[in-house]
């Protein structure tokens, strides 16, 4: 049984051969790639959000080269350690790199699960679905998750916008949320090469309403990048990309090799 609900009326969605349909007859076609678009225009804001095709392809190529493999492995370790139940949701799944990694780990460990990935970018959801596994991918906003109440045993959010109310709503009591955030030294050397007065990331207090922190792990390592395209892809994955002026962009364009710090934190919460 699917955990997805109709974004129009909130009724349960049942999967047919080519679509998802609710009891009131609202129907959502499954794309040839395998994902379903449950994103309503009223949930998109004034502009279309999410990554475009160029950004999705760049991030996929960067991640597949293994630059963030230590983070991916740590995530899989924690997901395997804390998962109890049947349902896992990746909220803001992007092109499915981390979702698929958890799926493969669970399969290897013979952990039975049903996995779902949701991203506001239709391009990202489509790319994720093209990985051709048994994960259900949908395009939707994490602020309006088309997911029934209290059905998820675990929710993963990797650098995605935080929506506490929705995450609490879809998680079961005692359910686990794993959140990835950049820590203070992340990409410090790259920022020093681009900005006149770089600043370290400010890590916010860990307390979140409705959740109790049960574990955390910091993943820190030096990342050698000797490909200009990979450096550009990495920078485009950060919030700095949208706030960088012409002069800084020119500096970035000249960097063909760099060793920069990768610095992440995985925070594991339990719904109170």
Quickly list H helices, the chain.
53-64, 69-82, 97-108, 122-129, 164-170, 188-194, 228-236, 246-253
pLDDT at 45 over 80: no
Q: What is the pLDDT of residues 143-158, one digit of tens each?
A: 999 999 999 999 999 9
Within a domain: residue 171?
A: yes
CATH number at residue 155: 3.40.50.150
- Can you give the pLDDT at residue 158? 97
Q: What is the pLDDT of residues 160-178, one digit of tens each?
A: 999 999 999 999 999 999 9
Confidence of residue 55 (pLDDT cuts 50, 70, 90): confident
Q: How many domains in the chain?
A: 1
Token pair for residue 260? 């920069």
Region 47-56: mean pLDDT is 73
pLDDT at 48 over 60: no
Region 246-250: mean pLDDT is 91
Angstrom distances, CA of residue 134 to CA of 35, 84, 186 = 11, 19, 33
Within a domain: residue 40?
A: no
The per-residue pLDDT of the chain, averaged, comes to 94
pLDDT at 95 over 90: yes
Number of Cβ atoms within 10 Å of the Cβ of 241: 14
Token pair for residue 44? 């998109």
Within a domain: residue 33?
A: no
Domain membership of residue 141 as a residue range:
47-271
- Can you give the pLDDT at residue 208? 97
Within a domain: residue 109?
A: yes
Within a domain: residue 234?
A: yes
Within a domain: residue 2?
A: no
């Amino acid at each position: 049984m699917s955990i997805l609900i109709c974004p129009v009326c909130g009724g349960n969605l049942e999967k047919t051969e080519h679509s998802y349909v609710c009891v009131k007859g609202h129907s959502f076609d499954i794309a040839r790639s395998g994902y379903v678009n449950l994103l309503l225009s009223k949930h998109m804001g004034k502009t279309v959000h999410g990554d475009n095709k160029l950004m999705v392809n760049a991030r996929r190529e960067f991640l597949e080269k293994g630059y963030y493999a230590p983070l991916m492995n740590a995530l899989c370790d924690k997901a395997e350690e804390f998962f109890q139940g049947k349902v896992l949701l990746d909220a803001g799944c992007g092109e499915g790199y981390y979702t698929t990694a958890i799926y493969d780990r669970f399969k290897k460990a013979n952990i039975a699960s049903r996995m779902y990935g949701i991203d506001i970018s239709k391009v990202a959801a489509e790319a994720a679905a093209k990985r051709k596994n048994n994960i259900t991918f949908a395009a939707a906003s994490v602020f309006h998750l088309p997911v029934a109440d209290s059905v998820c045993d675990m929710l993963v959010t990797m650098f995605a916008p935080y929506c506490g109310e929705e995450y609490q709503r879809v998680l079961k009591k005692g359910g686990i949320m794993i959140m990835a955030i950049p820590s203070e030294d992340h990409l410090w050397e790259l920022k020093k090469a681009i900005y006149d007065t770089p600043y370290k990331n400010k890590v916010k207090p860990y307390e979140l309403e409705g959740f109790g922190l049960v574990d955390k792990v910091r993943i820190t390592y030096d990342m050698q990048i000797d490909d200009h395209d990979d450096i550009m892809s990495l920078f485009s994955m950060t919030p700095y990309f949208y706030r960088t002026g012409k002069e800084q962009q020119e500096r970035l364009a000249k960097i063909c090799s760099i060793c920069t710090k990768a610095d992440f934190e995985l925070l594991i919460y339990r719904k109170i």
